Amino acid sequence: MTDVTLLFATLGHTLVSDIQVPGYIDRDGPIPQFVPLPRTFYLVRDKDCVQFDVPLSQDFLTFRVAERPTPPENLDEDEEFATSSYGRLFLSEDLSSFAVTRIRCLVSDGPSPGEVLVKCAEFQFEDSSYLFADPRNLFGIRLAGHGAYDRWKAWAQSLEAPGGTLREVVWTPGG
């Protein structure tokens, strides 16, 4: 469960320098390979990061502020923790950090009164770059770019979407 107002306050007035996905280095083959663990991603800021997770067997995002990316508890002893930068996939190379200029979330009511579940989120950055996070992916959080939020929203409002009423919540600076 997430307090959407806290999410907006946490990201609304800071700069993001990178998007990172945790994983491990698989050295079993002839060439070491980075294996992502897509149940988590980080929006890296100057002195900390905002960690987004999808709880096991769930379909919503949670978040918390973390000092730095950390290895998941289920990482095997022989697996070397690493992160991969996805910033170049979703952020322009022209700047070293990016202000969040809009956050859109589709939310539903949680199991307890007043609780909200974030079913997906889109972050727009000052250079018109977009990051969409979809926790309904079988393997974890699917990250996508511009247009993915609108396609997901159209699907969710169609007859084929699984139950639950969704509401859109939007944050913009000064909004």
Percent of the chain residues topping a pLDDT of 70? 94
The pLDDT mean for the chain works out to 89
- Contacts of residue 71, Cβ cutoff 8 Å, sequence gap at least 6: 22, 81
The residue-averaged pLDDT of 1-15 equals 79
**DSSP codes of every residue in 127-151:** TS-EEEEEEEETTEEEEE-TTHHHH
pLDDT of residue 15: 92
pLDDT of residue 51: 96
User: What type of residue sits at position 48?
Assistant: D
pTM above 0.85, yes or no: yes
Structure confidence at residue 151 as a pLDDT band (50, 70, 90): very high
pLDDT tens for 55-70 read 988 999 999 999 999 9
d(CA 4, CA 166) in angstroms, rounded, equals 14
Is a pLDDT exceeding 60 seen at residue 30? yes
Higher pLDDT, 137 or 150: 150
The residue-averaged pLDDT of 12-24 equals 91
Structure confidence at residue 13 as a pLDDT band (50, 70, 90): confident
The residue-averaged pLDDT of 29-52 equals 94
Is a pLDDT exceeding 60 seen at residue 163? no
d(CA 79, CA 72) in angstroms, rounded, equals 11
pLDDT of residue 39: 94
pLDDT of residue 2: 58
- Contacts of residue 22, Cβ cutoff 8 Å, sequence gap at least 6: 36, 37, 40, 41, 42, 69, 70, 71, 72, 81, 82, 83
DSSP-H helix ranges across the chain:
4-11, 87-90, 148-156
